[in-house]
Amino acid sequence: MSQPLVLGIETSCDETAIGIVRGRTLLANVIASSVQEHARFGGVVPEIASRAHLEAMLPSLEQALKDARVNLGDIDAVAVTAGPGLVGALLVGVASASGLALGLGKPLYGINHLAAHVSVDLLSHSDPIEPTIALLVSGGHSSLLQVDDITSRVIKLGETMDDAAGEAFDKIARIMGLGFPGGPAIDKIARGANAQAIDFPRGLTQSSDWQTRPFDFSFSGVKTAVARYLEATPDYAQGDVAACFQEAIVDVLMQKALAACKKTGIDSLVIAGGVAANSRLRAVAQLRCEAAQVRLRIPEPGLCTDNGAMVAALGSLMVSAGRSPSPVGIDADSSMSVESLLVS
């Protein structure tokens, strides 16, 4: 089936998201976020997220069908994020998708949240995505992947050893009183500021690190350095601190990503995940990839954060590739490996 109509459900964290695609054409992308319910806690509260998913699931589904101008009976397959993520949140999506697939008599695809972030780029580009290096950066994950086939073979080259990039943004934003989520707030106040005013450390970029952990990340050091600077400098310039912190994160991400391209001989890079919406990362990536003669692809900002479109996109690719569907009644896997692309 070359143009399957696939409904995707995403509930791995605090967004209840429903996407519908026909082949590689996006028809609907509805997102109900509970972020404001978590903001006063400075981070996502799993129980609150799960309850919000239960409340938002049916209205979001109905809106997506309306936007796509299709009926449930038109759906060829149902795809759902089976992991990784918050287990309670995942269970809401998996149970909903299983019920839909069973009731409609349609195949179910329990797919990997991280691989879905990469595959959403195919909704914006017609040419094949693989082979490519993928830099996946979000609130919970920072990974470098070698994508040989997004439906069957992804190799993890490296990952964060402590905080993910998005997590570091959230923590520093909280210390600076910028609220939650932190990434957009830091991005905003950093614009026009002096990104060279303070030399914050770049984790795992010393010569010995390149020998032992060339594609791994560590952001706890820069987070600690920024926190200490803020404590020792009461009259700090908020914009400059944000810009310098952001620059340290972006610099490390791009150093590692382009090193992976060079090592593997793959001249294509996809940057995906929530942090891929960061304006400084997008700008630096464009400049450095052009200099290194690496083809760069980044989804539009609205498709970088968690969404149902990415789940539907990967589900569509699974159907078109002839991958066997998942059994109805699959379990959620909160620690699902990125190399496990489909629950079988």
Specify the residue for token string 């319910």.
37
**Distance between CA 80 and CA 98 in Å, rounded?**
9
pLDDT of residue 341: 96
In the structure, what pLDDT confidence band is assigned to residue 117 with cuts at 50, 70 and 90? Answer: very high
Domain coordinates in residue numbering, the chain: 5-120+304-320, 129-298
Output the DSSP codes for 123-192: GT--S---SEEEEEE-SS-EEEEEEEETTTEEEEEEEBSS--HHHHHHHHHHHTT--SSHHHHHHHHHTT
DSSP state of 273: S
In the structure, what pLDDT confidence band is assigned to residue 34 with cuts at 50, 70 and 90? Answer: confident
Whether the bond into 181 is cis, omega within 30 of 0: yes
CATH topology agreement for domains 5-120+304-320 and 129-298 = yes
Q: How do residues 85-102 score in pLDDT, each as one tens digit?
A: 999 999 999 999 999 999
Q: How many CA atoms lie within 13 A of 59 on its CB side?
A: 9
Angle at 154 between CA 156 and CA 317, to 5 degrees: 150
Q: How do residues 16-28 score in pLDDT, each as one tens digit?
A: 999 999 999 999 9
| Neighbour count for residue 111 (Cβ, 10 Å) | 32
pLDDT of residue 98: 96
**Distance between CA 18 and CA 132 in Å, rounded?**
27
Strand partners, 154: 147
pLDDT of residue 140: 84
User: What b/e string do you get for 4-14 counting C-beta neighbours within 10 Å, with b at 16 or more?
Assistant: bbbbbbbbbbb
Q: How do residues 293-340 score in pLDDT, each as one tens digit?
A: 999 999 999 999 999 999 999 999 999 999 999 998 899 999 999 999
The phi and psi torsions of 293 (rounded to 5 degrees) equal 60, 45
Strand partners, 269: 133, 296
Q: Which fold has domain 129-298?
A: Nucleotidyltransferase; domain 5 (3.30.420)
pLDDT of residue 41: 75
CA distances from 105 to 98, 308, 318 (A): 10, 21, 18
Q: Determine what percent of the chain is predicted with pLDDT higher than 90.
A: 88
pLDDT of residue 35: 73
pLDDT of residue 47: 84
What does DSSP say about strands 132-137 and 268-272: parallel, antiparallel, or unpaired?
Answer: parallel
- The CATH label, of 3.30.420.40, 3.30.460.40, 3.90.700.10, 3.40.50.1820, for the domain at 5-120+304-320 is 3.30.420.40
DSSP state of 310: H
Q: Is the pLDDT of residue 162 over 90?
A: yes
Q: Are 70 and 5 in contact (CB under 8 A)?
A: yes
User: What b/e string do you get for 299-336 counting C-beta neighbours within 10 Å, with b at 16 or more?
Assistant: beeebbbbbbbbbbbbbbbbbbeebebbebebebbbeb
Q: Is the pLDDT of residue 46 over 90?
A: no
Q: Are 185 and 234 in contact (CB under 8 A)?
A: no
pLDDT of residue 49: 86
pLDDT of residue 1: 65
User: Taking the mean position of all CA atoms in its chain, how far away is CA 132?
Assistant: 16
Among the residue ranges 42-51, 79-88, 213-222, the one predicted with the least confidence is 42-51
Distance linking the first and last C-alpha atoms of the chain: 20
Residues 6+ apart with CB under 8 A from 181: 35, 139, 166, 169, 170, 173
